[in-house]
Structure 1
Amino acid sequence: MASLLYISVRPELAAADAEYASFRRGLGVDELDRLDLMATPLDAEAIDAHRGIVIGGSPLNVTDPAPTALQRRVESDLERIAAAAIDGHIAALFTCYGIGVVTRMLGGTVTLEHPESTAAVKIRATPAARQDPLFGPSGPELTVFTAHKESATEVPPGAELLAIGEACPVQAYRVGTHLYATQFHPEPSPADFAERMTFYRTKGYFDANAFDAVQQRVLASTVTEGEALLFRFAATFA
């Protein structure tokens, strides 16, 4: 059994397969356990048996007006992981959809007011990030991939803001020492993100009629700090 666990919350199995490969490469590990939360409920052993958990993105949104029973169960399971990380029992890195789950759990507000299209964007580290073991070495500015419809309006109670963006005010935060949440996607390379676009062509993350142009811009991007953050997560906690 590996010391790190990847949790998928994507209904599209092929997209989850690709995301898993991206996380494993970024973390720099030969072995990475996997749990498809859309198919299998969280077992307490999954937390107890690992030192760190990375949670991928999803087309689900916590602002969905009529969440299904499956979505409610998935979000409850993610909250259990967040609670264990806040307690220091395990390290956890929530990405994209996951930051919405954690923000709401902490009493923060998630809205549709700060969406970002599929693109590489520059974000800025906060002064608090300078001393953070994951974000500190990245310097004052990072280029990362975004594609989301909802986001936090401000850092939730109890969290330390680590990165901000021009279009999206909350790009990353830390709770305690073991829970990290990012609005951006740290794991994909340009080729990874360009491939992921094919699964979500008509899902509203970009203009479907401009697919080729958007994909070419993604492929031409230079994005490295996301993988560096993942590598440091593994080095720090695994």
Structure 2
Amino acid sequence: MSRVLLLTIRPEDDAAADEYAAVLDASGLDRASLVQHRLESSPLGDALRGVDAVVIGGSPFNVTEVEKSELQLRIEDDLGRVAAASVDGDLPVLFTCYGIGVLASYLGGAVDHEHGEPVGPVQLTLTAAAADDPLAADLPGTFEAFVGHKESVSRLPEGAVLLASSPSCPVQMFRVGTHTWATQFHPEPTPQQLIERARVYQNHGYFAVDELTAVEDRIAAGDVDAPRRLLRAFVERFA
């Protein structure tokens, strides 16, 4: 039986549970095949043993934070181990949101605050290189995806292949080698799932608290079928 590991980095129980449910739904996996490890609660340990692929979820953490807690430093060290197992080994890994910054930093790229995006749907455009990418090749040339981030990759790591951009954030997706992908956007949630997540994080500085209704309306208008297809393509190819 295939086994996919979801590494969750969300201290909030509701958000962690919602993220698992969203990945489960979008990927087409069953609960026996999708194993969740809450990295903020427990070190990575031997969690990579016996898995066919790994999905890195989002997080309220930011790579660019000047003062990092011991917990965040440990998490980023653990994610560095995952990156090494993928880039230097053959473990298929999909890094999302917070994960794209961790991966880019680990590989010598740069992350800053110049291209943060508010919570909601944005239009992405695939690059020419996406036509030959195993995951992106079957996606439409332009499509909507959900974002919501305070930082982004400003310089790709050496050897990384840019696969998708948006007008407000030049680096939305890249690949390194043959087993490692990263997306700034969230590939897994439906509009309703992201609305529920926005409610959990309404006091985390992604938007003003009194803007929640407007954010919910913006999310509800999103058409995000393509990103979910991307996640399913990753699972079907490697698991």
Which category of TM-score, normalised to the shorter sequence, fits these structures?
A: over 0.9
Partner of 2:184: 183
CA contact (8 A) 2:5 2:55 kept: yes
CA contact (8 A) 1:159 1:174 kept: yes
Per the alignment, in what secondary structure is the counterpart of residue 193 of structure 2? helix
1:176-199 Cα shifts (integer Å, max 9, x gaps)? 011100001000000000110111
**Which letter does structure 2 place at the counterpart of 1:32?**
L
Matched, 1:121 2:122: yes
**Normalization by structure 2: what TM-score?**
0.96
Q: How far apart in 2 are the matches of 1:108 and 1:222?
A: 31
Between the two proteins, the alignment pairs up a number of residues equal to 237
Partner of 1:54: 55
Partner of 1:25: 25
Partner of 2:4: 4
Moved >6 Å (runs of 4+)? none
Structure 2: runs of 5+ lacking an equivalent = none
1:87-132 Cα shifts (integer Å, max 9, x gaps)? 2431000101011111111111100111100010001101111111
Per the alignment, in what secondary structure is the counterpart of residue 16 of structure 1? helix
Q: How far apart in 2 are the matches of 1:97 and 1:166?
A: 20
Partner of 1:41: 43
1:36-115 equivalence runs, <5 A: 36-44=38-46, 46-115=47-116
Q: How far apart in 2 are the matches of 1:159 and 1:184?
A: 17
Q: How far apart in 2 are the matches of 1:190 and 1:171?
A: 19
Per the alignment, in what secondary structure is the counterpart of residue 169 of structure 1? strand
Deviation at 1:169, TM superposition (A): 0.8
CA contact (8 A) 2:144 2:222 kept: no
Q: How far apart in 2 are the matches of 1:207 and 1:63?
A: 21
CA contact (8 A) 1:2 1:33 kept: no
**Normalization by structure 1: what TM-score?**
0.97
**Which deviates further from its counterpart, 148-157 or 70-79?**
148-157
What's the % identity of the aligned pairs? 45
Q: How far apart in 1 are the matches of 2:82 and 2:220?
A: 34
